Amino acid sequence: MLIRSAEILNFETTDLATLMAVAEHESDAVTVTDRKGTMIYVNPAFEILTGFSKEWAIGCPASLLNAGLTPRETFSELWAKLESGRVVRCEFVNRRRDGGIYQESKIIRPLFDALGTITHYVSQGWRS
pLDDT for residue 1: 32
Quote the Cα angle for 16-82-107, to 5°. 70
Buried b (16+ CB within 10 A) or exposed e, 51-89: ebeeeebeeeebebbeeeebeeeeeeebeebbeeeeebe
Return d(Cα 101, Cα 93) in angstroms, integer.
Answer: 7
Q: In what order do the strands lie in the sheet with 118-127?
A: 39-42, 29-34, 118-127, 101-112, 88-95
**Nearest CA among 41, 35, 38 for reference residue 112:** 35
Cβ proximity of 93 and 77 under 8 Å: no
- Which residue would you say has higher pLDDT here, 54 or 15? 54
- Which residue would you say has higher pLDDT here, 79 or 25? 79
Span 35-68, pLDDT tens digits: 999 999 999 999 999 999 999 999 999 999 999 9
pTM of the model: 0.85
How large is the average pLDDT for residues 101-120? 92
Q: 8-127 is classed in which CATH architecture? A: 2-Layer Sandwich (3.30)
pLDDT for residue 23: 83
Backbone angles phi, psi at 88, to 5 degrees: -125, 135
pLDDT for residue 14: 54
